[in-house]
A = this chain, B = another copy of it.
Amino acid sequence: MAQKYTIPKGTRDFSPEEMARRNYIFQTIQSIFKKHGYLPIETPAMENLSTLMGKYGEEGDRLLFKILNSGDFLKNLDTEDIENKNLGKVTTAIAEKGLRYDLTVPFARYVVQHLNEITFPFKRYQIQPVWRADRPQKGRYREFYQCDVDVIGSHSLLNEVELIRIIDSIFRELNINVVIKLNNRKILTGIAETINAPERLTDITTAMDKIDKIGVEKVYEELRGKGLDEDTINMLEPVMNLSGDNTSRLNCLKELIGATDTGSQGLEEMQTILGLTKQLDLKAEIKLDQVLARGLNYYTGTIIEVIAKDVSIGSICGGGRYDNLTGVFGLPDVSGVGISFGADRIYDVMNELTVFPEEALNSTDVMLVNFGDKEAAYSLGILEQIQQTGIKAELYPDAAKMKKQMKYADQKKVGYVLLIGEEEMNTGIYTLKNMKTGEQTKGNLEEILTILKS
């Protein structure tokens, strides 16, 4: 009796069916990255903890998977630290490495380490798993893939436009209707300055950002709870209630916050981006969302978030511009802009919308039935000729009962089955069965190949 073996919670095995769907997503994303001139890099699964610690806040440090040193990992350990339950010091003594938590910090480390080999502007993409010791729940895993694309070493807003085009192309190809929400850290700063509360930027923006979920009144309540007075809150009202299309929002914002230096700079950037995207053939809806706030610890300009229109699941892609990507590694003033696609959520959205194209999920094109040693030996030669044309083909390895072989072909979703028994060997006329329609055709190899290739 087989025992019950499992994998660590929050991790997953992927079956051939799931892999076909996942690879369809990855290949689509990757081919569009490439089409825009982005090139791949990869970094190791493990980084030195000194590279990772302190980059994701206290919670991030806690959620990092740490790897026990090899050999005598106890040699630097002070037993007093154990008795005092000093987890931090014990960790430092016994673990030097950790699994990567995202792709951004390893990328920043990569840029600093390989500075002299890189041609700037550096357009790179990176598709790799990341690991977080988070509490697993529906749609949240401890091992998941990120697909990041960034360009660094250029301040041009054409980069933002390019990323918007990439988002549009990818979701168009994947058949997901999306809204691309745009904002700018500088607009948020302009708002905070206009209501004379520049130091409350984070409080204000994180509250405003919830308007869609909790409504205006609850946002005001939260702001009151954070100590903002009624006058200040009243001044926020016009920003909160902004509506209409992008042009009218932009014009209103100019009146509201255009008097601040930072605000007006943010609006100018927004106007440039909206102007350039307007002339493009985009399918996605572009929406200026003046309350959108994310990544305020590092984003300094444009903020991007992508929402699926027909499925409620949160954002499926997001990013922004950061003027100090490599600053924590001692190389300041490297400006870049990048976005990250959440493959797992996109997978869930596509499953819910049932938009995976059937041809992407195909396995073997044709299976040759095995009638016995002699027939199998003969079939090997036919198999070789079929595969040489690029068709995916296999010969059932055992001379099992026909029923068993057909069941295999059926469960593996093989397109056709080719029957070569003794009579077929003698005449050179084979029987081909279409597994979907059940239709049978007879023909020589050339005729069979014509059907298989069609």
State whether the Cβ of A72 lies closer than 8 Å to any Cβ in chain B: yes
Residues of B within 8 A of A158 (CB): 370, 376, 380, 395, 397-398
Nearest residue, chain B, Cβ from A85: B74
* Partner of A364 from B3, B37, B326 at Cβ < 8 Å: B37
- Copies of this chain assembled into the complex: 2
Q: Is A70 an interface residue (CB 8 A)?
A: yes
Which of B1, B6, B115 is in CB contact (< 8 Å) with A330?
Answer: B1
Name which of A60-68, A224-232, A245-253 contacts chain B.
Answer: A60-68
Cα–Cα distance between A73 and B23 once the two chains are bound (Å): 36
> A412 within 8 Å of B by Cβ?
yes
Contacts of A394 in B (CB 8 A): 36-37, 123, 162
Cross-chain contact A329 with B3 (CB below 8 angstroms): yes
Is chain A's binding surface mostly helix, strand, loop or mixed? mixed
Contact B68 A41 (CB under 8 A): no
The interface centre, meaning the residue of A35, A96, A370, A411 with most chain B CB atoms within 10 A of its CB, is A35
A36 pairs with B387, CB closer than 8 A: yes
Contact with A73, one of B8, B87, B110, B143 (Cβ below 8 angstroms): B87
Whether the Cβ atoms of A44 and B119 lie closer than 8 Å is no
* Residue in B35, B155, B380, B390 whose beta carbon sits within 8 Å of that of A35 in the complex: B390
Q: How many residues of A contact B (CB 8 A)?
A: 110
Minimum CB–CB distance from A65 to chain B (whole Å) comes to: 5
- Nearest-CB residue, chain B, relative to A134: B70
Query: Does A46 interact with chain B (Cβ within 8 Å)?
Result: yes
Chain B residues within 8 Å of A381, by CB:
279-280
Residues in chain B near residue A117, CB distance under 8 A: 15
10 new A-B contacts at CB < 8 Å, known A45-B99, A154-B397, A280-B384: A2-B329, A8-B47, A12-B44, A13-B113, A15-B114, A37-B364, A37-B392, A67-B68, A158-B370, A162-B397
